[in-house]
Amino acid sequence: MPVPVPAPGSAPPGFAVRCGRVLLSPWSRFALLVAVLSGAGLLVLLFEPQELLAHGWPPQVNGATAVVAFAVAYGLCTAAFVPRPLLNLAAGALFGSQAGLVGAVAGTVLGAGISFGLGRVLGQEALRPLIRGRLLVAVDGQFSRHGFRSMLAVRLFPGVPFAVANYCAAFSRMRSFPFLLATGLGSIPNTAAYVVAGSRAATPTSPAFLVAMGFIALSGLTAMLVAWRKRNALRGRAEA
């Protein structure tokens, strides 16, 4: 955000103007981002909302209203660094496979959008000048030039932590719509596996539960392989 420069010979800005400039400076906004995220993490540690989601839902909230409320709670929890696998399992246990998947994917997109918005508004301007080093520049360029397909790959093969991917995208020049679309589409397979596992947790020998757990294990191994190959590719591009 450009800071207005007084014209030559004009009176120095008043105290309120100087305070406004300081509060709206990139590093002040970044400090606010750190404070917001630290506060959110502290609230999670104190109140453990994932326990509420995992052990029951208020009986007076049911049907579609409950799914919508869960999606909102899911989004806020992921923005506060609650692990998504726990919430996905809770979605399946609370609502079953179909409604649980809808609530979990909607919450995933909401949580990603919250993190992206916070990072873009409060952190991008301060941190972009610090993106140095060949590897960081290569990662930033990948997200900035190929936002949709890069984020789709990250979500399909979840080797990068959810919050890290959100803020890397926010600090890059990736646009918000491709980011959210890739997040929604790419998170479906892995989210569905956890939701199905949660819905069938009472019958761990059922074919659906075993297939879901097999998919989770396979996607984890695939993510490790993709991450290893991508890291080598980015290093080679940075050294070129």
Domain ranges of the chain: 27-239
Q: Is the pLDDT of residue 149 over 70?
A: yes
Q: Tell me the per-residue pLDDT of 179-190, one tens digit each, with 9 for 90 and over.
A: 999 999 999 999
Q: What is the pLDDT of residue 14?
A: 63
- Asked if pLDDT for residue 198 goes beyond 60, the answer is yes
Supply the pLDDT for residue 11: 46
Dihedral (CA of 185, 189, 195, 196) sign: positive
pLDDT for 171 equals: 83
Overall average pLDDT of the 165-189 stretch: 91
pLDDT band, residue 230 (cuts 50/70/90): low
Compare 14 and 36 and report the one with higher pLDDT: 36
CA distance 202 to 200: 5
What is the average pLDDT across 202-230?
A: 84
CB within 8 Å of 104: residues ≥ 6 apart: 71, 74, 87, 88, 91, 191, 194, 195
Residue of higher predicted confidence among 74 and 53: 74
The confidence band for 45, taking pLDDT boundaries of 50, 70 and 90, is confident
Closest CA to 79 of 45, 47, 118: 118
| Average pLDDT for the chain | 80
Which of the four pLDDT bands, split at 50, 70 and 90, describes residue 136?
low
Cα angle: 170, vertex 166, 190; to 5 degrees = 150
Neighbours of 130 (CB within 10 A): 9
CB 222 within 8 A of CB 193: no
pLDDT at 20 over 60: no
CB 187 within 8 A of CB 105: yes
Look up residue 205 and give its DSSP letter. T
Among positive and negative, which fits the CA dihedral 63, 112, 183, 122? positive
**pLDDT value at residue 75:** 93
Better-scored residue on pLDDT, 102 or 237: 102
Instruction: Give how far the C-alpha of residue 133 lies from the chain's centroid of Cα atoms, to the nearest Å.
Output: 24
pLDDT at 21: 55
pLDDT band at 46; cut points 50, 70, 90: confident
Percent of the residues in the chain that have a pLDDT greater than 70, as a whole number: 72
Give the pLDDT confidence of 95-128 residue by residue, as tens digits.
Answer: 999 999 999 999 999 999 999 998 888 876 666 6
